[in-house]
Amino acid sequence: MKKLAIYFIVLLIVPALFLTSCDRGDDLGEDTAVATPAFTLMTDFMVQNNRDIGNILTNTDNEKFVVGPPAAADLQTFLDTYYIMDLRSSSDFATTHIEGANNVAFSDILTTAATTSKPILMVCYTGQTACYATALLRLYGYPSTRSLKWGMSGWNASTAGPWNSKIGSNLADGHSNWSHQGAPATLVFDDPTISTTLTDGEAILKQRVKALVAAGFGSVTVSGSDVLNNPSQYFINNYFSEADYLGFGHINGAYRILPLTLGDNSYLGLNPDANAKIVTYCYTGQTSAVITACLRVLGYNAYTMTFGMNGIYNTNPSWTTNQWGGDSNPKNLPVTNN
């Protein structure tokens, strides 16, 4: 009888242990479920809502991020179309500005954008700060925002000093770090890591844009001379066409990851390490400012090379477009101090 009692007790205990074990396993599975990374949440939203890098460069209405100064005959239509934000200093704005423009601090571009239903035109000295701001506004949800190409330098000869003063050094001409070799093979890296408590892709994107607006533009720039003299200190991405990459030449070791988008995973060619200073350079520093804004939102330690190719080799014989003082010069459009 004693053995029989023990047998029945075992029959009761074993199933209970089995069920307890199953319950613990289920709970453990729920507790250790891996949350979707913030980077994935944000970039999924960006791709699905036309905010991939390509859409920031050219929106769904086929409008590029920059627009050139208008012909004199089209001036009034141009002025009536846009709400103009001039990002220059208050003193320079007071001296000379475009009629109807509004002097806005960089840190206030989001709050100011919310006050108008017009397409926004960003204006600065050279177009580079304005392009960075344009990218951030497009990322935030203002896709019709554009930047005045060449900034006030392209509007009138009296305000062309900021561009004129940066041209003529031709540092790259004959420099040992200037190369005509083919681009190095593109590597494949992991996604950047984004730290946030938010779990909504749009909210994460807006949080990151706001932080970059608060930080301003000056901290994301590097000079062409520093990159040219010290290329090993940077992860360099050249944003030329393939023909110009070889024809113009390029900074030694520069990759050519172009197009650069989330949708085709080409962004994985960039190094996400926080110690890797990713520098994009283009012809004018304007496209690279847009790319840099996008990359910083994505979590890269990204920088733009100011004045681009124009700043280090303006007299390169391969120029056909975007050469300051060549095919591109200031217009004679009116300015005011009222």
What domains sit in the chain, N to C, each tagged with a CATH number? 38-164 (3.40.250.10), 178-313 (3.40.250.10)
User: CA angle, corner 114, sides to 111 and 119, nearest 5?
Assistant: 120
What is the Rg, in whole angstroms, of the alpha carbon atoms belonging to the chain?
27
Kindly tell me the burial class for residue 122, based on how many C-beta atoms sit within 10 Å of its own C-beta (0-12, 13-18, 19 or more): buried
What's the CA gap between 188 and 200, in Å, rounded?
Answer: 27
Q: How large is the average pLDDT for residues 10-32?
A: 40
Provide the sign of the torsion angle of the four alpha carbons 149, 104, 119, 159, taken in this order. negative
* pLDDT interval class at 14 (50, 70, 90): very low
Give the global pTM.
Answer: 0.90
Determine the pLDDT at residue 32: 54
Q: How large is the average pLDDT for residues 228-244?
A: 97
Q: What is the pLDDT of residues 49-104, one digit of tens each?
A: 999 999 999 999 999 999 999 999 999 999 999 999 999 999 999 999 999 999 99
